[in-house]
């Protein structure tokens, strides 16, 4: 029914997909798996007409198609259900289902027709917990997912793409989703199911396609593989690249959490020691950033013990010697229109202690900012240099614990090595460092210990130099074969 052949795509000269093939039959559930950033979402967005492919062909029912716009894909029977729903919260279920193509009778919107059609589709899906006239904002995430599916059905979609559909669902809601997927299957609809969670892949899919670094690894019948096989196919690349040597001496404990929890995190037991870099691994939505924000007091823990203090605010954390290099430096780390100097001194000025203005130059040299021009507005700096300014910002107050969330994302290779060296240097000077990263080689190359998160809990702790397979198994919640 759907055949994609040799799909390739580049963004601004960076190749994100090349030579990917995919074939799906009616009534098939086809899982697509791969690490964060492997190219799964890009592939699906090409299918949905959001992005246009540079190479390859797409055929539906043997007819070659080309989607210049999401509407083209919609007309060809492709529906995509994103992690973030595209629903209007203030409107009713049926208004959302028929948004932009409301049935008109005598110049007015025919609400009765809309409600009847929606009610029929809801009934077909076996959904009786809400009706067509309910405002969407009153629905749970799982129910909103149903609305998205009803919308897809009302568009006569024959291919439904679900992007991480369980990421936002509670445990008991996952069962409902399974039921829904099977109903779609019965109607002869092909479902493309993107998920990190291997259990779902094995529960639902007929075939599974593995993508790694933008390339097709393989497509296999799900019953022919084990979860170990899948993990091996998803990762397993050579550890290339240089990393500084590991720590030689681990000092006293700088930060400790026992039984820490928020609404997204549960039973967090974690210890960060002087001189050590602790890597945090986990899939998207596993609670990695939430952990950093909790330790930093930005989204504080509501349960559990923490020393030196369980911060209730960012200021309290900073005063206790905890710093956070945020994941998104442009929106959370820097005031882009201010100078390098003003950014470097922001924390000092905010809490009224730390390095003086005259000390900034030395710090900028220490973080290897090139050139160390203090007057430059940070928005003109490269990603790597911006990250160095963020580092300098924290070094002004000499924190005891520094948390890094994706420290080298969007940073070029040279700056990456400089940042890695610097992190190790800081650890050697007695700082306790925690590093969240989606890049397994970075985690393995840098960490003295790797803590793996899964669904808001610590799934396990691995020693330095563990394999990518070991990390992915823990992170994906491998089912025992």
Q: Residue 409 interacts with another protein (CB under 8 A)?
A: no
Residue 356 CB, shortest distance to another protein, in Å, is 12
Q: Which stretch binds another protein (CB under 8 A): 34-42, 131-139, 314-322, 362-370?
A: 314-322
Could you say which of 113, 298, 309, 479 contacts another protein (CB under 8 A)? Answer: 298
Which residues in the 168-207 window bind another protein by CB under 8 A? none
Q: Which stretch binds another protein (CB under 8 A): 74-82, 108-116, 251-259, 332-340?
A: 332-340
| C-alpha separations of 228 from 56, 284, 388 in Å | 31, 20, 39
Based on CB atoms, which residue is closest to another protein, 157 or 402? 402
Could you say which of 104, 126, 349, 412 contacts another protein (CB under 8 A)? Answer: 349
Tell me if 150 sits within 8 A of 125, measured CB to CB. Answer: yes
Residue 313 CB, shortest distance to another protein, in Å, is 9
Question: Alpha-carbon distance 377 to 340, whole Å?
Answer: 6
Residue in the structure block whose two tokens are 């445990």: 171
Which one, of 44, 45, 65, lies nearest residue 56 by Cα? 65
Question: Alpha-carbon distance 481 to 473, whole Å?
Answer: 12
> What residues contact residue 380 under an 8 Å CB cut-off, 6+ apart?
none
Q: Which stretch binds another protein (CB under 8 A): 218-226, 229-237, 313-321, 413-421?
A: 313-321
Residue 264 CB, shortest distance to another protein, in Å, is 18
Q: Which stretch binds another protein (CB under 8 A): 48-56, 184-192, 346-354, 407-415?
A: 346-354
Could you say which of 29, 147, 324, 403 contacts another protein (CB under 8 A)? Answer: 324
Residue 330 CB, shortest distance to another protein, in Å, is 8
Q: Residue 337 interacts with another protein (CB under 8 A)?
A: yes
Could you say which of 4, 31, 291, 346 contacts another protein (CB under 8 A)? Answer: 346
> What residues contact residue 107 under an 8 Å CB cut-off, 6+ apart?
none
Tell me if 237 sits within 8 A of 441, measured CB to CB. Answer: yes
Based on CB atoms, which residue is closest to another protein, 130 or 301? 301
Total count of residues recorded for the chain: 481
Could you say which of 314, 419, 436, 474 contacts another protein (CB under 8 A)? Answer: 314
Residue 412 CB, shortest distance to another protein, in Å, is 13
Residue 131 CB-density burial (10 A; 0-12 exposed, 13-18 middle, 19+ buried): middle
Question: Alpha-carbon distance 270 to 289, whole Å?
Answer: 15
Q: Give the three-class secondary structure for 339.
A: strand
DSSP H stretches of helix in 130-236? 141-154, 171-186, 198-204, 227-234
Could you say which of 169, 220, 336, 398 contacts another protein (CB under 8 A)? Answer: 336
Return the structure tokens found at 380: 């003109």
Strands (E), 12-144: 14-24, 29-33, 55-60, 63-65, 78-81, 104-105, 108-109
Binding mask 351-390 for another protein (x = CB under 8 A): xx--------------------x-xxx-xx-x--------
- Tell how far CA 126 is from the center of its chain: 31
Question: Alpha-carbon distance 95 to 150, whole Å?
Answer: 12
Based on CB atoms, which residue is closest to another protein, 118 or 343? 343
Residue 89 CB, shortest distance to another protein, in Å, is 19
Q: Residue 437 interacts with another protein (CB under 8 A)?
A: no
Could you say which of 164, 342, 406, 448 contacts another protein (CB under 8 A)? Answer: 342
Residue 332 CB, shortest distance to another protein, in Å, is 5
Q: Angle 477-191-70 (CA atoms, 0-180°, nearest 5)? A: 115
Based on CB atoms, which residue is closest to another protein, 52 or 313? 313
Based on CB atoms, which residue is closest to another protein, 222 or 338? 338
3-state DSSP helix/strand/coil percent for the chain, to nearest 5? 35, 25, 40
Residue 378 CB, shortest distance to another protein, in Å, is 10
Could you say which of 331, 356, 480, 481 contacts another protein (CB under 8 A)? Answer: 331
Q: How many CB atoms lie within 10 A of CB 373?
A: 14
Q: Which stretch binds another protein (CB under 8 A): 38-46, 105-113, 147-155, 328-336?
A: 328-336
Contact positions toward another protein, by CB under 8 A?
296, 298, 314-315, 318, 324, 326, 331-338, 342-343, 345-347, 349-352, 373, 375-377, 379-380, 382, 393
């Amino acid at each position: 029914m759907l055949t994609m052949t040799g799909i390739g795509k580049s963004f601004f000269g960076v190749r994100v997909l090349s030579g990917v093939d995919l074939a799906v039959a009616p009534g098939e559930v086809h899982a697509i798996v791969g690490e964060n950033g492997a190219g799964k979402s890009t592939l699906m967005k090409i299918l949905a007409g959001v992005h246009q492919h540079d190479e390859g062909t797409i055929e539906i029912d043997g007819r070659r198609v080309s989607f210049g716009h999401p509407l083209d894909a919609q007309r060809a029977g492709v529906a995509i259900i994103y992690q973030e729903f595209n629903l209007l919260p203030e409107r009713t279920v049926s208004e959302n289902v028929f948004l932009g193509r409301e049935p008109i009778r005598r110049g007015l919107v025919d609400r009765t027709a809309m409600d009847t059609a929606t009610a029929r589709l809801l009934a077909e899906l076996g959904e009786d917990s809400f009706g067509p006239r309910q405002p969407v904002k009153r629905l749970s995430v799982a129910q909103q997912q149903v609305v998205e599916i009803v919308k897809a059905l009302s568009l006569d979609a024959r291919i439904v793409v679900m992007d991480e559909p369980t990421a936002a669902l509670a445990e008991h809601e996952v069962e409902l989703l399974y039921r829904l997927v099977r109903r779609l299957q019965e109607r002869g609809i092909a479902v493309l199911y993107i998920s990190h969670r291997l259990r779902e892949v094995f529960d639902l899919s007929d075939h599974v396609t593995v993508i790694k670094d933008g390339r097709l690894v393989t497509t296999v019948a799900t019953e022919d593989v084990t979860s170990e096989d899948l993990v091996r196919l998803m990762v397993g690349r050579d550890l290339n690249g240089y990393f500084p040597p590991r720590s030689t001496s681990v000092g006293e404990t700088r930060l400790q959490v026992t039984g820490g929890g928020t609404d997204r995190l549960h039973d967090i037991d974690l210890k960060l020691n002087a001189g050590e870099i602790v890597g945090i691994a986990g899939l998207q939505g596993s609670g990695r950033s939430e952990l950093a924000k909790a330790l930093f007091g930005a989204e504080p823990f509501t349960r559990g013990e923490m020393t030196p203090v369980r911060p209730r605010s960012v200021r309290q954390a900073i005063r206790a010697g905890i710093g956070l290099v945020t994941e998104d430096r442009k929106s959370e780390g820097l005031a882009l229109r201010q100078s390098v100097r003003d950014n470097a001194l922001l924390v000092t000025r905010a809490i009224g202690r730390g390095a003086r203005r005259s000390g900034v130059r030395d710090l900028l040299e220490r973080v290897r900012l090139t050139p160390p021009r203090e007057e430059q507005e940070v928005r003109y700096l490269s990603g790597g240099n911006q990250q160095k300014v963020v580092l300098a910002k924290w070094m002004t107050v000499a924190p005891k614990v520094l948390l890094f969330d994706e420290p080298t994302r969007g940073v070029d290779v040279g700056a990456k090595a400089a940042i890695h060296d610097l992190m190790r240097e800081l650890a050697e000077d007695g700082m306790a460092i925690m590093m969240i990263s989606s890049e397994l080689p970075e985690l393995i190359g840098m960490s003295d210990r790797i803590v793996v998160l899964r669904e808001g809990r610590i799934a396990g702790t691995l020693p330095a130099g563990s394999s990518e397979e070991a990390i992915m198994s823990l992170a994906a919640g491998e089912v025992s074969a």
